[in-house]
Amino acid sequence: MVQFFSFFLKDLSFSFIILTVGFILGWVIYNNIVLRNVSLKDALFTKDNLAVWIEFIGAFVFPVLYLAAQGIKGSASDNIFMDLAVCIGYTVFYIAILTILRLTSNYIVTLINAEDEHGKVCLNKEICEQKNIGAALFSVSLTVIFVGMIKYIDFIDIINGLGSTVLIKTLLFFVFMLLAIVCYLLILRRKTTLFKELFIDNNAAAGVGFLGFVFAVQTIVNGVISVYSMDFDLITVSIVIAISLIILGVLAVFFKLIFTSMVKVDIWNEVYEENNIGAAIGQVALYVGIAGIIVNFII
């Protein structure tokens, strides 16, 4: 019993150090680099900006702690100090890559060169100055994708000669996420565009729906890759992911039609015309629920 508590205490202390380093480093980078022209403290507490809170929690707190936890998995030595150094290295690398990708997303939004009533659209300004919840949810959605990619990067696997597998898994995740989002955008273009809804109309419901879709897709892609991780075959995994995503789309449309016919309400109009966040949350529940069923079926 004493040995158990001693091991638990050491393991808890080890994890606490990694998580603390990750959180402090993430805060410094997020506050001084990602939001370099914004006082994060004032936006959160003085102005009580809900959009900033959403991005702070969804694009900083959860991702940083999750990646720090992933860094703890990088342990490779019986020497606790060597282990600690390796895990801190993983954590620092993961957070650095996340920061670069977050800055890239801000640059991409700026490149679109669109304007609203406040001037040229900028991701940070939309969130911090205009309190655009839709833009904050868009940022969180991108962060979900970034974290999903980053977690496949494992230096120990690369050192052990599995670098090609690491690269394939990372690219596979990115490609299928991109294809799914392109399909999502093409469907929206029948009546509107995601960019218009989020950055011009400040439609929070559209942001909720997009985040739910991204989370559902990454659940399926990650789930399939995880199931076949021990005996990874690119063609098999790609086919299973493609079929699973098609099933997600078909079932989502099917259940939406059933629900629409039952309640006599146009869900599309509720989300994209009426900005009905409740209806968007219902869509999220549908997407994520179907994704969970698909992954459990595959397992």
Sorted by where each begins, the domain ranges of the chain are 1-151, 156-299
Residue 114's pLDDT is 62
Nearest-CA neighbor of 40 among 50, 52, 51, 29?
52
User: What secondary structure does DSSP assign to 217-264, as a single string?
Assistant: HHHHHHHHHHHTSTT--HHHHHHHHHHHHHHHHHHHHHHHHHHHHHHT
pLDDT at 155 (0 to 100): 79
pLDDT tens, position by position, 239-284: 999 999 999 999 999 999 998 888 888 888 999 999 999 999 999 9
More confident residue, 69 or 217: 217
Taking each helix axis from N to C end, the angle separating 277-298 and 234-263, rounded to the nearest 10 degrees, works out to: 140
Residue 78 phi, psi dihedral angles, 5° rounding: -80, -15
- DSSP annotation of 79: S
Q: Phi and psi dihedrals of 119, rounded to 5?
A: 115, -155
Nearest to 41 by CA among 19, 56, 26: 56
The overall longest dimension of the chain from CA atoms, in Å, is: 66
Alpha-carbon distance of 18 to 231, in angstroms, equals: 31
The string of pLDDT tens digits covering residues 41-50 is 888 888 889 9
Residue 215 has pLDDT above 90, yes or no: yes
Burial (CB count <10 Å: 0-12, 13-18, 19+), residue 1: exposed
pLDDT given for residue 282 in this prediction: 92
Q: Which residues are paired to 115 by β-bridges? A: 120
Torsion (CA) 7, 12, 14, 19 in degrees, nearest 10:
160
pLDDT of the residue at 8: 52
Task: Using the predicted structure, report yes or no on whether residue 74 has a pLDDT greater than 60.
Answer: no
Q: Between the CA of residue 229 and those of 31, 178, 224, 225, 232, what are the distances in Å?
A: 36, 21, 8, 6, 5
SS3 78: coil
Confidence of residue 124 (pLDDT cuts 50, 70, 90): confident
Predicted TM-score (pTM) of this structure: 0.90
Can you tell me the distance from the alpha carbon of 195 to that of 272, in angstroms, rounded to the nearest whole number?
12
Q: What is the Cα 257 distance to its own chain's centre?
A: 28
